Structure 1
Amino acid sequence: MPLQTFLQNVLASPSSQTALKTLTVGSIGIFAGQALSYSTIIMPALRTIPPLTALPVWAKCYNTGKNIQVPLILTSLFAGLPVYYKTKNAFFLMGPLVMGAIIPYTLALIMPINQTLLNILDGNKGGKGKHSSNHGKGEGDLKELYVQWDLLHFGRTVMSLAAFGLTLYGSFSRHALTMFQ
């Protein structure tokens, strides 16, 4: 069965469309909420404790977050794009595409910092001193990496909040519901 026929069959009923819209908005909303909590709660709290003490906590949060966030991005894409295909509601194209853009943004800008922080953590597990690592990063350098990470992560937060707003508008706005029919 060709993909187009499959999509038409799946999206033929209003309940299927509603389920996919709910999955799209829900996955984007959960991602945005999690991203906002990192920007407003987790990182500010981690910056109040010594950087080397914060590093294992940051790593645990990072590993937990990536295991949740990647599936949320994929869910928003795989649920939202078929909704756009069927309804031509551009907000269900824009929202998931903004979410999808988070992946290259993260890989290009945040992943190098993630790798540096994880390498420092691995170096500290090898028994080096309390205030430096095998990678020559002291506590001041760690503080700067946290600030850079937090600023770049805020970009992800803004992107996800924008995607959430777009899909919410596309779901509930009278204008959005009628402008693409």
Structure 2
Amino acid sequence: MPTLQASMQFVATLACGIFAGAAIYINAVEHPARMSCGTLVAATEWAPSYKRATWMQAPLAISGFLFALIAWFAGAGLKWLIGGVLLGLVVPFTFIVIMPVNKRLLSPDLDKSSEEARQLLERWNRLHAVRSALSTLALMIFLLNF
């Protein structure tokens, strides 16, 4: 029977892997595809995509962080705490750094075909890449220390 520590490590790694995979997909595939359709279409499509992704990615980041923390408390090494913190950092980073861009992109007074909208979408993608990097680094730490 698996120990609590091993179970928490597995679940943390699974949540982190799904989060990182989704984040990388958004940066590498979804966002470039939406941008290739022009600013108006990209800005229009971004809102429902963002709302759906929030309900998937937020629970993954939070649960991955919590399970890594529990694994660390259960005796896993310090690297599990470090990986968990890296994954958990995507949440405050999103609220503090990305949220102002999100709010402007969701604003009803934004001209979705404007240069401002294009610049916001490009900035959003660069900021989202930080989430991809943090979660990928956390995943590498988890996989190397499983």
TM-score scaled to structure 1, two decimals? 0.75
Residue type at the aligned position of 1:93: L
> 1:116, CA displacement in angstroms?
0.4
Paired residues for 1:1-181 under 5 Å: 14-119=2-107, 123=108, 134-135=109-110, 138-171=113-146
More relative contact order in 1 or in 2 (CA 8 Å, sep 6+)? 2
Distance in structure 1 (CA, Å) of the matches to 2:8 and 2:70: 8
Unpaired segments ≥5 residues, structure 1: 1-12, 124-133, 172-181
Residue ranges of structure 2 left out of the alignment (5+ in a row): none
**RMSD of aligned C-alpha atoms?**
1.6
Relative to structure 1, the CA distance from residue 88 to residue 22 in structure 2 (aligned partners, 3 Å threshold; closer, same or farther) is closer
Amino acid paired to 1:101: L
Instruction: Name the CA shift for 1:62/1:136 in 2 (closer, same or farther; >3 Å).
Output: closer
Larger radius of gyration: 1
Q: 1:169–1:14: structure 2 CA closer, same or farther, 3 Å change rule?
A: same
Question: Which residue type is aligned with residue 163 of structure 1?
Answer: A
Q: Distance in 2 between matches of 1:31 and 1:137?
A: 28
Q: How many residue pairs get matched?
A: 146
Give the percent of matched residue pairs that are identical in Structure 1 and Structure 2: 27
Q: Which TM-score applies when normalising by structure 2?
A: 0.92
How much does 1:68 deviate?
0.7
1:136, CA displacement in angstroms? Answer: 5.7
